Structure formats: C-alpha cells, structure tokens
Structure 1
Amino acid sequence: MFKGFSTHLKRHRVKHLAFISLIMLVILVKVVLIDVVYISKQYEKKRIITPWGEKIKSGNLSVDYSLEQTLIDIENLGLNTVNVPVQIDIPSLTANTATLNIESKKKAIQLIKKLRYQGINVILEPYPYISNGELYETQLDPQDKNEWFRNWKEEILHPIIRDIAKPYKVYALCIGSNFDKFEKEYALWIDVANFVRENYRGRITYKTNWWYTAEWNTEKDGLHDTYTAKLNNPLLAEVDFISVAAYFELTDQETNTVESLVNSLYSTQIHSRHQNVYEELKNLSSEWNKPVFFGELGFPKRNKAAVHPWDPEPSAIPNELEQANGFQAYKEVFEKESWNLGFSVFAIGKKDEFKNYYPSHQSIRVINSWYK
C-alpha cells in the first residue's frame, strides 16, 4: 500500500515538475519575445528616414567617455548611432605592433549593451592611441608594413570582431582611421577588408582624412596628389560606405557668418585655394557608387574654428557661436544630399573645460535640428 502510494507521489511530483518547467519555459519565451519586440520598436523610433533615404546621425566618443554622459548626449543631440572607440595602444609613430586595451574593450561592451537596448546603432572603431594619446594617427608610419598589417588583422581586428562586433551585432566596423602615411598600401588594405568580410557580416567602412586642393597649384606641385590618390583608392570598392574626417580648412577669418562658411564649402577662402569641398566629396561618392559619411565632423569652440578645424586650440579666444556656425553651414550644404549618408559629431561622451570639441549649447540646437 505504502509502496503504491509512494509511486503515486513520485509520478505526481514528476508531472508537477514537468508542468512547472513548461510554465517557466513559456514565461521565458514570452520575456525574450517582449525584449526582442521592445528592442525592435526602440530601433524603429531611432531610425531617421528622410526624403533622401535613411541617415546616420552619430557622435564620436572621446576615449575617456563616461556611460552616463554618453546617454545624456544621445538624447540631447537626437542621435541614432554612436561611434564607439576601442583604445588601441601604440608605443610610437614607427611601431610595427599595437595592443588592444582590455579595459577599453570591457567598457565598450558595457556601453554597447545599453545602446542595443535603446535601439541605438553602433559604429565600432579601433582607435589608435599613440604614445599615451600624445601623438596623432595621421603621422603613424610603421617601419615594417607587412608586420603592422599582420598585427592589425590578427591582434586587433580579429578579437574585436569575435568579442564585440559579432556577438553584439554592431551596425558597422571601421577597419582603419586616418592613416595618411600608409593609406596607399592598397593591396595590404584590401587584404584587411577581405579578412574582415570573411569573419564579419555587418557593414564595413574606412575613414580617410580630410585633404586640400588649390586652383593656383598644378598637380606637379603635389597638392592635388592626395585627393587624386583618395579618388582612385581601390580599397573604397571594398567598403559599404566611405567615411571622411571632415576637418576641411575653409577661411582665413577668425569669425565667420553661416553664409560665409556655406560659400566656403563651395570655394574655400583660405590661401585663395578655392577648393570646392562639396564637389570633391560628391565626386568621391560618384566614383565608387558609395555614400559618403562624415566619420568625424567637429569644430573647436574657439575663434579660427573654420581656419584649422583639426586643431583643438586654433586660438585662445573662446567662441561657442563660431562652432555652431560651422555645424549649421555643413547642415545647409549637405543635409539634403542623397549621396551623403550622414555625420558623426566629434566629440561627445565627456564634458569638461578641456574638451574644446564638445558641442556648445548653440551647436546642440543645430545638431538636434538636423534631419527634422
């Protein structure tokens, strides 16, 4: 009797446990579906669709960004994308190897998890941090290019793809940024692009640095060579969109009206170069049938911001309006161009008295109004 009763209890417990397990599975599936739907709806909210197609409205993070300030900036600027850097430590301008900064990688993953839940896209960038950030990647010139490219693929891009880009399904991966000194290593760069394609299904881009041309100079004098090389760079056939760090020198004036800056984008005033920045960017897009994205668009909050936008302190005189006028001019010239994919504000995520590129209140209003 007791044996039969014990058997009955065991069967009852098994059925009870099976029923509970089924209920828990149903709840888990519902939670996952709700989460997926929520993320999908959040993404739909953040997409920016214009009569000229979908646009990227992004911000570049400084390497010392904070998660809290980043989320505030996304909201204030109305962004749908964030350019997330992973710090790559490089000891010198001639170094052949680089090292992925583990703490920066952990921080990027922590942020990306939050961004995914809010439906914010991510452009992931291995950010060259040379000699503790004291030197610029535009001057990097490794002695052994073959070794540098091997290291960049295997020790930098591979773990970034494996541990961040693939598992968190980032929108795009930037395979290189502003490497002026060896951008012409076309075959090696194409090998990098092929390597990334084999390991990652998302979008890829390469960020090329700004350039200048002058109507009074001949090609023999060299000023046209940089742009011609960019225009004919076969690597651009391998990317999904072309990124440009848009620090074009526009005027000779310490302060400028928006109208003057708009005119300068069609014919630069500085040194009477009369460079047509608009036309050159449009031709770059047309040449490769790829959209052009301003991978960095920034002006320091200083006088002369449009003279040397690449210089964080072109003048000792603060001028928040001059920065805002720069953003407004780019907005008026490029906002409605179908070949322009959008822009990324340089730089957000950290706000203090040393961050000369952080957007002023006037600039925030301009950036927030873009694509509305």
Structure 2
Amino acid sequence: MRSVVLFCWVLGVSCMGTPGGKINGVSFVGSREPAHQQHVDALRQVHAGHAAVMPFGFIREKDSPEIIFDTDRQWYGETCEGARQYIELLQGNGIKVMLKPQLWIWRGLFTGDLEMPSEAQWQELESEYADFILTYAELARETGVSLFCIGTELETFVRARPAFWGQLIREVRARYGGKITYAANWDEYGKVPFWDQLDLIGIDAYFPLSESRHPTVAELRDGWQRWKQEIRTLQQQVGKPVLFTEYGYRSMDYTAKKPWLVDRNQEQVNLGAQANAKEAIFEEFWNEEWFAGGFVWKWFIDHPKAGGAGDNRFTPQNKPAQEVIRQYYQRY
C-alpha cells in the first residue's frame, strides 16, 4: 500500500480518490484496544473510502504549554503504536487515511481558547506542539497516509503565532510528502492565514442551519445557502479544494441549531432530524467540483455496540443516518 501511495505523490496525482470521486470518510475513534477486521468491515458496508485516525495529546489547562502524548496512560488508539496499527489495518482494506493528531484540554475545554499568558510560555507551547505534530508527521511518512492534518480548532494559537505556523508547515513538508490540511472550526476558517501554504481548506462544518425542532431537508438546504456562498468565495480566492475535516449532527431535537454541542444534555432523541441533516449536506456539497469530501463525526470501532435508537449523540451508527451515508457514499 505504501508504494502505491508514494507512486501517486511522484506522479503528482491527487490522493483524493478516483477522478470525480470524493473523500467519503469517517472519523475512526481511538479505542482501548487494537482494531480488528470486523471493525473495518462496517466501514466497507457504508462505502467509506477514507478514515481519519486521531491520536491525542493532552493539556492540563488552557494556559498550560505542556503537551502529554504517546504515554501508557492513554487509550491504545490514541498513541503512536495504536495509530500505526489502525492505519495499517485500514490501508490493508483499501481505505485511505487522514492522520489527524488532536489536542484535548482536561475537562473538555475548547481548544480554540488555548492561550499563553507570557512570551516564554508561548515559546514553550510552540516547542511542545512542534514535537507533537512532527512526531506524527514522521508516522505519516512511514505509513504513507494520503493526508495529514496539522491541527484542529486552535483559533487563538493560530491568530497569536502566525510565524510559528508557517515554520511548522515547512517542517512538516520536509518530513512528509503527501497532502496536508488544517481543521478550522466553522467560525474560524475565514481567519486562517496560511491556507495558501496547504493543499486543502479544512473545515469542521458545524454551521448553524435551523432553529426547528425537526428541520426538513428543504429547510436545512436553505440554511446552508449563506454559509455555502462564503465557503465558495474563500475557495475561489485561495484556489484550493474544500474538505470537511469533520461534519456531523446529533440525533436529537434541534440538531441543526447549535451542531457543535458536545454536552450531555438529555434533549429528546430525534433520529429523523439527524438523517435529514446528513441528506442536506450531501445534496448541497457532494456534487460540487471544488468540494473534496469529508469525514463523518464520529465512528466508533465496535460497531454493534455504537449508537442505536436510544442514542442522541453524534455517531450515525445503527441509526437511519447510517443508511443515508451508505447511499450517498456509494453514489460518490
């Protein structure tokens, strides 16, 4: 598999799949255990051709520069060893991989608010983050993944230290020959200063679309129009394809009002609203030539135990939204 991917790089061929195809991806959540063939079989059944593998680094507070990663206290799938095992298993099944190392601030604080109180601490964070990302850039090179993501939803860090990010991109490219992106939050992507240095404009697409309890597909498509035009304008300015590095909706009432919510609210389960939101995003974007595709948030490796009719979380597994994904991924 690695030789095939490297051959694509040499020829300058896009690793976005077959001509006219899309990145039909899922965010393959790290587990306590290694992944096995049955965990990949479920991806193949929904025609997923790509998967994001997401090792994690941990930060204690939003003003702390230390990044803890690749330790025996983490879940297996969040470490270098686990990420490698997942990548090789996925690739062995013909599924291309985006390696997407991410930060987690304890208690689930938003990574976009990561901000250091002094210049010395900013410099320490830069050193820590470079070590974190370049460790995984080396893994991306060794495994020949199709795509590497240099960060996820780090708005304040990006805004405060633009020179660092330019240097980091150069160092990643010195180690890894594939395509690179950054996963900007839905309200951040227009302010990222380095899109012209990357291969794809990456957006975590949690745009508010509707305040209805059970929005229809037509209502959701209408809600997309403002955002779609803004995305298209940036895409034309930068001249790079757009990738939804994450996209998804919870299976609950008002799912498109604040799609980014990850709290533990007990909002009423609404499987139909989630399915409608998936259909709307496919209908609006998947037939656009400038749109590369996206990665569903999120997909747990133990498929039989994931999601289900009583679950109001993001995963589409064992819900009507899964069938919507299967149909559209098969089509594209």
User: Aligned equivalents of 2:126 and 2:273: distance in 1?
Assistant: 40
TM-score using structure 1 length: 0.75
The AA in structure 2 aligned to 1:327 is K
> Which structure carries more relative contact order (alpha carbon 8 Å, separation 6+)?
2
Counterpart pick for 1:329 among 275, 280, 291: 280
| Contact 1:304–1:315 (8 Å) recurs in 2 | no
Counterpart Cα distance in 2 of 1:363 and 1:327: 7
Q: Which is further off, 279-288 or 69-78?
A: 69-78
**Counterpart pick for 1:148 among 125, 130, 135:** 125
Contact map agreement 2:112 2:157 (CA 8 A) in 1: no
| Equivalent residue, structure 2, for 1:298 | 248
What is the CA–CA distance in structure 2 between the aligned matches of 1:65 and 1:321, rounded to whole Å? 31
Query: Does the alignment pair 1:109 with 2:84?
Result: yes
Deviation at 1:49, TM superposition (A): 3.7
SS in 1 for 2:165: helix
Which string of whole-angstrom CA distances, capped at 9 and with x for unpartnered residues, describes residues 256-315 of structure 1?
11011011111xxxxxxxxx1110111121111000001100101100110011113565
**Cα separation, partners in 2 of 1:159 and 1:234, compared to 1, 3 Å:** same
1:100-133 deviations in whole A, cap 9, x for unaligned?
22442211111111112111111001111221x6
Query: Partners of 2:315 and 2:103 in 1: how far apart?
Result: 20
Does residue 1:317 correspond to 2:284, yes or no? no
Q: State the AA in 1 paired with 2:125.
A: W
Deviations 1:220-262 (A, max 9, x none): xxxxxx5xxx446431011110110000011111111101101
Distance 1:75 1:90, change over 3 A: same
* Counterpart code for 1:204: I
Distance 1:199 1:49, change over 3 A: closer
How far apart, in 1, do the equivalents of 2:87 and 2:153 lie? Answer: 24
The number of aligned residues is 301
Matched with 1:73 is 42
Q: CA deviation at 1:48?
A: 5.0
Change (3 A) 1:149 1:244: same
Match of 1:356 among 301, 305, 313: 313
Gaps of 5+ in 2: 8-14
- Shift in CA distance, 332/248, structure 1 to aligned 2, threshold 3 Å: same
Offset, 1:187: 1.7
Q: Structure 1 residue 89 and structure 2 residue 58: aligned?
A: yes
Structure 2 CA distance for aligned equivalents of residues 256 and 290 of structure 1: 32
Partner Cα distance (1:114, 1:349) in 2: 15
Q: Which stretch shifts more, 341-350 or 73-82?
A: 73-82
Q: In structure 2, what is the equivalent of residue 26 of structure 1?
A: none
Match of residue 180 from structure 1? 155
Mark the CA change 1:94 to 1:354 in structure 2 (over 3 Å): closer, same or farther.
farther
Whose Rg is larger?
A: 1
| 2:220 match | 261
Confirm or deny: 8 A CA contact 1:208 1:245 kept in the other structure. yes
1:209-288 to structure 2, matched below 5 A, reads: 209-211=185-187, 230-231=189-190, 233-266=192-225, 276-288=226-238
Match of 1:308 in 2: 258
Q: 2:24 aligns with which of 54, 57, 60?
A: 57
Query: Between the two proteins, what is the percent identity of the paired residues?
Result: 24
Does residue 1:197 correspond to 2:183, yes or no? no
Q: Secondary structure at the match of 1:146?
A: helix
| CA distance, structure 1, for counterparts of residue 183 and residue 84 of structure 2 | 22
1:369 matched to which residue of 2?
327
Candidates 333, 340, 361, aligned match of 2:291? 340
Q: Quote how far apart the aligned CAs of 1:203 are.
A: 1.0
1:65–1:349 CA contact under 8 A, matched in 2: no
Counterpart Cα distance in 1 of 2:196 and 2:321: 34
Q: Which runs of 5+ in 1 are unaligned?
A: 1-31, 41-45, 212-225, 267-275
Query: Aligned partners of 2:250, 2:152: CA distance in 1, in Å?
Result: 20
Aligned-partner Cα distance in 2 for 1:308–1:232:
21
| CA distance in 2 between partners of 1:288 and 1:58 (Å) | 24
CA contact (8 A) 1:173 1:202 kept: yes
Deviations 1:35-75 (A, max 9, x none): 979xx9xxxxx98546xx23111111234376246414312
Instruction: Decide whether the 8 Å contact of 1:258 with 1:325 is kept in 2.
Output: yes
- Residues in 2 aligned to 1:283 and 1:314: alpha-carbon distance in whole angstroms: 35
Matched to 2:284, the amino acid is V
